[in-house]
């Protein structure tokens, strides 16, 4: 980080700085970067000692991390996260802290209703964040890549698989040439073997990140293909490889993560792609031919 560069004014700006400078950080500072990027509530509300313990680094490393990004102290950086949460009212994340206690005491019917309400509230907040955090130029770049691609490859394993299948289904209906990297028979490498510079890979991966998706992403990069990354963090293993990277902060309850915001993004891209393709289609020849 350039010491002369001013500190970020908001969380979005800070996360972009972290993504840009991540490879140049020490291993300890990279640990902090991972924790800060993926635990906004903890950074906002926990003490520096608690955050350091959770990030498995000394408290002095937390201070050094803040200083390396232009802040005079860790509390200055913490304030950005507090301000962000104050803007997100009513905050799902605060209500979610009470979910476990409620679930332990509730009747089955009340418990089910509470879980539904929490996921619904979280999804609403996540969808609002998507509209505010994704630049229009990034959306258009992704649409242009898909429109110009000879063939579109899609890689999404584990919890990302349903999203990958949904994207494949939609692209088939646009009559795009699509290759699904599903690894059937352990053939991930073979499925990626023919990707070329005029193709595009859409890679979808959320923590814990799939090694197979990462390998597909690296193969696409090596081939010079276009690369659209959809992930949960600007410092995920595949984020910096993409021509376009969408970092979607999906809410979760315990180990169960919503995919609604990512699905919204995918559907928006496909619909916009459909409009772009139709607008580029040649006009039918309506002029009378000689001899008619």
Instruction: State both tokens at 170.
Output: 């939609």
For residue 252, the model assigns a pLDDT of 65
Q: What residues contact residue 264 under an 8 Å CB cut-off, 6+ apart?
A: 127, 130
Taking the C-alpha atoms of residue 226 and residue 162, their distance in angstroms, rounded to an integer, is: 22
Could you tell me what percent of the chain has a pLDDT over 90?
41
Taking the C-alpha atoms of residue 234 and residue 241, their distance in angstroms, rounded to an integer, is: 11
Across residues 80-103, what is the average pLDDT?
58
Instruction: State both tokens at 72.
Output: 């005079």
More confident residue, 149 or 87: 149
More confident residue, 60 or 132: 60
159-163, 203-207, 235-239 — which is least confidently predicted?
Answer: 235-239
Q: Is the pLDDT of residue 267 over 90?
A: yes
DSSP state of 291: T
For residue 188, the model assigns a pLDDT of 81
Q: What's the whole-model pTM score? A: 0.67
More confident residue, 151 or 190: 151
Across residues 66-72, what is the average pLDDT?
91
**C-alpha torsion 27→32→34→35, nearest 10:** 150
For residue 85, the model assigns a pLDDT of 65
Angle between helices 11-21 and 74-87 (to 10 degrees): 130
More confident residue, 289 or 118: 118
Block residue for tokens 């799939």:
210
Do residues 192 and 181 make contact, with C-beta atoms less than 8 angstroms apart? yes
Mapped onto helix, strand or coil, the DSSP state of residue 153 is strand
Block residue for tokens 């023919």:
194
With cut-offs at 50, 70 and 90, classify the pLDDT of residue 108. Answer: confident
Instruction: Kindly report whether the peptide bond that precedes residue 90 is cis, defined as omega within 30 degrees of 0.
Output: yes
Mean pLDDT of the chain: 83
């Amino acid at each position: 980080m350039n010491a002369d560069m001013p500190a970020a004014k908001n969380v979005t700006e800070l996360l972009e700085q972290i993504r840009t400078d991540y490879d140049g950080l020490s291993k300890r500072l990279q640990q902090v970067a991972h924790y800060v990027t993926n635990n906004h509530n903890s950074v906002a509300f926990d003490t520096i000692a608690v955050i350091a313990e959770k990030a498995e680094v000394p408290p002095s490393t937390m201070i050094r991390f803040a200083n390396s990004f232009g802040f005079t102290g860790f509390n200055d950086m913490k304030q950005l996260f507090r301000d962000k949460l104050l803007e997100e009212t009513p905050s799902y994340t605060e209500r979610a802290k009470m979910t476990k206690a409620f679930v332990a005491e509730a009747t089955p019917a009340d418990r089910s209703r509470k879980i539904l309400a929490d996921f619904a509230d979280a999804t609403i907040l996540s969808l609002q964040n998507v509209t505010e955090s994704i630049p229009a130029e990034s959306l258009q770049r992704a649409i242009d890549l898909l429109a110009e691609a000879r063939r579109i490859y899609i890689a999404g394993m584990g919890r990302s698989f349903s999203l990958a299948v949904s994207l494949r289904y939609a692209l088939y209906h646009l009559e795009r040439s699509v290759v699904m990297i599903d690894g059937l028979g352990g053939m991930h490498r073979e499925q990626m073997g023919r990707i070329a510079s005029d193709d595009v890979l859409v890679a979808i991966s959320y923590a814990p990140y799939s090694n197979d998706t990462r390998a597909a992403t690296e193969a696409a990069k090596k081939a010079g293909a276009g690369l659209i990354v959809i992930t949960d963090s600007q410092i995920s293993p595949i984020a910096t490889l993409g021509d376009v990277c969408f970092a979607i902060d999906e809410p979760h309850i315990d180990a169960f993560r919503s995919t609604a915001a990512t699905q919204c993004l995918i559907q928006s891209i496909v619909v916009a792609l459909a409009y772009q393709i139709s607008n580029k289609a040649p006009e039918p020849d309506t002029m009378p031919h000689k001899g008619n």
